[in-house]
């Protein structure tokens, strides 16, 4: 359908000439002779952009502009003005007009502005859709009492600038909680900068966090701003904070104390205003006792601790999560939605998800993609989920409420290596084989990434990518 352009101008001659210019280019023209008439047209005709006369008797163009903004924030408006109305023009820009057409105008001038406006319209639409999709992606699903406690803590902590320390096993949703805190804070409009302290090689982490000047070390060919600077006025999320080296810990502590950073190779300090959220699945108190984690840094981070409980302590959330992931998978992969047999759901709720929600999500995705029928039955489940006894024999660590830290859960049953019950296609077989191979090599090398990468003769970055791709985790596959 041709884009619809609304022209609001009190002079019939201007409306007529714009109508001719626009209709000649196959745009749909909608005319309005006054502000109120124009506002009615905005609501009735849902135009794609507006050309608005700045000077009209009665309600002025600026007032109409402000009203349009209230009704539809993303509708692009260009002003039509006589010459010499600079202050009006500035005012209009402040109110969000994206362009000006000065009278008298040529048709080229009008068409350039209209093209710009329509482009802006589609960008803004796309943006909004992306935002909605992003929000769905980061939605925290679950209503059980355990998660509700987490929600309440998020609500209380979010509006403050206090440092939050998120604790909990791998895959429980710490990253989602961190994003929820940021979204609900006064910094929501600013950046959320995530740093995975475990994935960055030791020799790069400082330059990653604090930035560096050009030439400050071999390989520093360009100046780089660090994550702390990037997060200025926003939130920095220090993920896997328990994996930082003592040297990095000392530097991070300094930033938290002084609220300023120093780029590598620079003597100048830069003030930063960042809200810190940290997360770890490690037992930090144990690490402190072993001398691996600085106690003073722990106290700095541990202002508001929030523990995200493991999935086995909130089986009541499982049906909701299953439906959520099933729907997302069917949308993403364009496959028909599937129903879950009640017995399947029971088995899913009984299973002790050592990989927590990440493992549940992967399982549901695979089930949806691999199961031919539209009802998923118990027999479709991977064997370790189906036979609840077997998965519990793997050694259950006592789970006192709140003590979700326990180091990597060790299990020796080989079941978890195979990603699905039976691979169907060659690709699935290859992937299953590759996954099993990687897990074996990781175990051989004591889950030391550098050593494993070396043994496999592949770059660490590639190994990290594979771990991510297959959802390989020491806690699940160790
Ligand atoms: N309540 C939830 N609702 C919907 N999805 C969730 C929920 N919690 C976690 N997830 C999903 O589970 C996966 C793992 O979550 P996340 O990455 O936040 O875990 P984590 O605690 O940070 O794990 P790790 O310690 O391994 O980094 C993600 O795909 C996330 O989207
Ligand atoms: Mg995480």
- Same domain assignment for residues 185 and 198: yes
- Same domain assignment for residues 159 and 295: yes
Our count of domains for the chain comes to 4
Tokens of 465: 């990518």
Tell me how far the alpha carbon of residue 391 lies from the centroid of ligand 1, in angstroms: 22
- Same domain assignment for residues 371 and 438: no
pLDDT the model gives residue 450: 86
DSSP E strands: which ranges in 281-333? 304-307
Of the listed ranges 39-48, 80-89, 205-214, 433-442, the one predicted with least confidence: 80-89
pLDDT the model gives residue 303: 96
- Same domain assignment for residues 322 and 444: no
- Same domain assignment for residues 316 and 296: no
Average pLDDT on 179-193 reads 94
- Establish if 400 belongs to a structural domain: no
- Same domain assignment for residues 386 and 463: no
> By residue range, what is the domain housing residue 434?
408-478
- Same domain assignment for residues 286 and 317: no
- Same domain assignment for residues 303 and 320: no
In sequence order, the β-bridge partners of residue 7 are: 31, 51
- Average per-residue pLDDT in the chain? 87
What distance in Å separates the CA atoms of residue 249 and residue 301, rounded to the nearest whole number? 11
Q: How far apart are the first and last CA of the chain?
A: 57
* Nearest bound ligand to the CA of residue 468: 1
Q: How many CB atoms lie within 10 A of CB 182?
A: 22
Average pLDDT on 325-329 reads 92
Kindly state the greatest CA–CA separation across the chain. 85
pLDDT the model gives residue 388: 58
pLDDT the model gives residue 397: 37
Tell me how far the alpha carbon of residue 31 lies from the centroid of ligand 1, in angstroms: 51
- Establish if 380 belongs to a structural domain: yes
- Same domain assignment for residues 285 and 152: yes
CATH number of 93's domain: 3.40.50.2300
pLDDT in tens, 11-60: 999 999 999 999 999 999 999 999 999 999 999 999 999 999 998 999 99
- Please identify, among 276, 307, 338, the residue that sits at the C-terminal boundary of a domain: 307
Phi, psi of 225 (to 5 degrees): -85, 145
Say whether 78 sits in a helix, a strand or coil: strand
- Please identify, among 136, 170, 185, the residue that sits at the C-terminal boundary of a domain: 136
- Please identify, among 251, 274, 307, the residue that sits at the C-terminal boundary of a domain: 307
Tell me how far the alpha carbon of residue 454 lies from the centroid of ligand 1, in angstroms: 30
- Establish if 448 belongs to a structural domain: yes
pLDDT the model gives residue 148: 93
- Same domain assignment for residues 265 and 354: no
- Same domain assignment for residues 254 and 371: no
pLDDT exceeding 90 applies to what percent of the chain?
59
- Establish if 346 belongs to a structural domain: yes
- Establish if 403 belongs to a structural domain: no
Q: How many CB atoms lie within 10 A of CB 25?
A: 15
Q: Which helix (H) or strand (E) holds 30?
A: strand 28-32
Q: Which atom of ligand 1 has the smallest separation from the CA of 281?
A: 25
- Establish if 424 belongs to a structural domain: yes
| 314 close to ligand 1 (CB < 6 Angstrom) | no
Residue nearest to atom 29 of ligand 1 (CA): 358
- Establish if 113 belongs to a structural domain: yes
CATH number of 375's domain: 1.10.8.60
Give the environment of ion ligand 2: residues with CB less than 5 A. Answer: 175
pLDDT in tens, 351-373: 999 999 999 999 999 999 888 88
- Who wins on pLDDT, 262 or 304? 304
- Same domain assignment for residues 360 and 319: yes
């Amino acid at each position: 359908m041709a884009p619809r352009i609304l022209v609001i101008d009190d002079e019939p001659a201007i409306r007529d000439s714009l109508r001719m210019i626009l209709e000649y280019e196959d745009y749909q023209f909608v005319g309005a002779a006054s502000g109120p008439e124009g506002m009615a047209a905005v609501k009735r005709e849902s135009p794609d952009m507006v050309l608005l006369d700045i000077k009209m008797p009665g309600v002025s163009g600026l007032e109409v502009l402000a009203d349009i903004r209230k009704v539809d924030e993303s509708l692009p408006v260009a002003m039509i003005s006589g010459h010499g109305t600079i202050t009006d023009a500035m005012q209009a820009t402040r109110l969000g007009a994206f362009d000006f057409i000065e009278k008298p105008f040529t048709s080229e001038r009008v068409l350039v502005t209209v093209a710009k406006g329509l482009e802006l319209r589609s960008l803004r639409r796309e943006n909004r859709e992306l935002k909605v999709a992003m929000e769905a992606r980061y939605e925290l699903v679950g209503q059980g009492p355990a998660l509700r406690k987490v929600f309440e803590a998020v609500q209380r902590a979010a509006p403050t600038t206090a440092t939050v320390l998120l604790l909990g096993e791998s895959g429980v949703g710490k990253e989602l909680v961190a994003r929820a805190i940021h979204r609900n804070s006064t910094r929501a409009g600013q950046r959320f900068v995530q740093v995975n302290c475990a994935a960055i090689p030791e020799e790069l982490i400082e330059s990653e966090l604090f930035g560096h000047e050009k030439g400050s070390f071999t390989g520093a060919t360009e100046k780089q701003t660090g994550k702390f600077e990037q997060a200025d006025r926003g939130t920095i999320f220090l993920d896997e904070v328990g994996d930082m080296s003592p040297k990095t810990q000392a530097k991070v502590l300094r930033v938290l104390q002084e609220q300023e950073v120093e780029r590598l190779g620079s003597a100048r300090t830069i003030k930063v205003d960042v809200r810190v959220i940290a997360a770890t699945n490690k037992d930090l108190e144990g690490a402190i006792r072993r001398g691996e984690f600085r106690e003073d840094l722990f106290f700095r981070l541990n202002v508001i601790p929030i523990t995200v409980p493991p999935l086995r302590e909130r089986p009541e959330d499982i049906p909701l999560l299953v439906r959520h992931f099933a729907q997302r998978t069917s949308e993403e992969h364009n496959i028909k939605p599937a129903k879950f047999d009640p017995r399947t759901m029971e088995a899913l709720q009984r299973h002790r998800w050592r990989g927590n929600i990440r493992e549940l999500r992967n399982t549901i995705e695979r089930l949806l993609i691999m199961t031919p029928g539209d009802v998923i039955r118990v027999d479709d489940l991977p064997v370790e989920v189906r036979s609840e006894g077997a998965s519990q024999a793997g050694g259950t660590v006592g789970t006192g409420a709140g003590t979700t830290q326990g180091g990597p859960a060790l299990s020796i049953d080989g079941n978890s290596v195979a990603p699905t019950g039976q691979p169907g296609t060659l690709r699935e077989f290859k992937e299953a084989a590759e996954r099993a191979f990687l897990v074996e090599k990781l175990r051989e090398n004591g889950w030391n990434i550098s050593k494993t990468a070396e043994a496999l003769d592949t770059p660490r970055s590639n190994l990290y990518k594979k771990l991510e791709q297959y959802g390989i985790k020491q806690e699940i596959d160790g």
